[in-house]
Amino acid sequence: MKKIGFIGLGLMGKPMAKNLFKKGFQLIVYNRTPSKTEDFKKIGVPVASSPEELSKEVDVVITIVTDHEAVREVLMGPNGAFNGARPGTVFIDMSTILPRVSIELSEKAKEKGFHFLDAPVSGSTWAAEQGTLAIMVGGEKKIYEENLEVFKALGEKIIYMGPNGNGSYAKLINNIIGATFAAILGEGICFAEKVGLDVSALIEVLSSGAFKSPLIEFKGPKMMKADYSTQFSLNLMFKDLNYMVETAKEKNFPLFLGALTKEIYQAIKNKVNGDLDYAIIVEFFRSLIQ
């Protein structure tokens, strides 16, 4: 079994790291907020004092942090993992970041004799806990295949997308579709409320018909009940929408619906706590009919 260093113990990273431990991988963890490592200390998982220390004796370093600035910091900062790793170490970044930064990091890794895969995930915190995430992987196919056992401990559907950066491109597309779907779901629920429909019955219909989706099943009831306990925050979704808009501009791609979706999320973000779940997008439409 490979020895794995895991960096980033947030809502997604914490259950993912625990799944690796449960599956028998040797594990060492690091988090910029030390309090988030307490659960791992209790079960006997070593905690590194820095990414550099973590990377010294492992075969694989996994990162899942907030944004590309955080990824750069934990990998290439003064105490970054690139400073301590041995040649041949595999770096797997599972964060959602700009594709051009994924490509840049893969090139920096190669210069140092490392391997790099961009492997962002799709799924809720529940999927992270159950080990049923979808994982989209970009990078050298041979390295992807050699690390399938790691991915299978974390996800149910692992799909190779091609060279470095392609995993990140796929994730931005995934998230902009999800954000737009959530917005139209919220608008539909608000219309149902306006005309006096039983919203729970509507959600049951939507969850059973031609357009059924786990997003309807998970986010529909949250919108109906105004339950915005965080599975995936509004701030993170808005960050990803910004990344998609920026990347589309880089590629001279005319982004229409995605750009409009970003503006809708901006409008609600200006009014609410962005750390709440992005299901709160429904409140943008409720505010229009009050």
- Residues with catalytic annotation? 171
CA distance 214 to 212: 7
CA distance 185 to 255: 21
Sign of the dihedral defined by the CA atoms of residues 223, 227, 232, 233, in that order: positive
SS3 content of the chain, % helix, strand, coil (to 5): 55, 15, 30
Q: What is the DSSP letter of 228?
A: -
Query: Do 51 and 74 contact (CB within 8 A), yes or no?
Result: yes
CA dihedral angle for residue 185, residue 186, residue 191, residue 194, rounded to 10 degrees: 150
219-255 in b/e form (b: 16+ CB < 10 A) is bbebbbeeebebbbbbbbbbbbbebbbebbeeeeeeb
Inter-helix orientation angle 199-206/166-195, to 10°: 140
